[in-house]
Structure 1
Amino acid sequence: MGTFNLESHGCVISNEIINQIARSNTEAENNLTLKYGSDWKEKFLKEVDYAYNIEKKSQK
């Protein structure tokens, strides 16, 4: 079993954990695509940018 060393953060993560995270992310992305369509990520980022800009303007 290999490891991935994040020296700047002082931790070591095994390839097994990295692979499990990748599988979980793929499953989540597939579920989001089924529920919201293939462009879900673009829609989400647009909404986040909009909310961020509202917050940014209110702080002025």
Structure 2
Amino acid sequence: MPLTRTKDSLLGDLLKIILAVILPPLGVFLEVGFGKHFWINIILTLLGFIPGIIHAVYVIASR
């Protein structure tokens, strides 16, 4: 049986995406913690803010 998204999880994801647009590493941290995606996002954000946002939204949306 596939997992279904509840109303609470959709609101949580929306909040994480909003935080990811403002501060990309924070959105990734809330989703995966101090994993490899967090450090990749730190590097991408330092290299350019837009790549950091794109990566953060991708990580949040893919989980």
Give the TM-score taking structure 1 as reference length. Answer: 0.37
Higher relative contact order (CA 8 A, sep 6+): 2
The higher radius of gyration belongs to 1
Answer 1 or 2: which has greater strand percent: 1
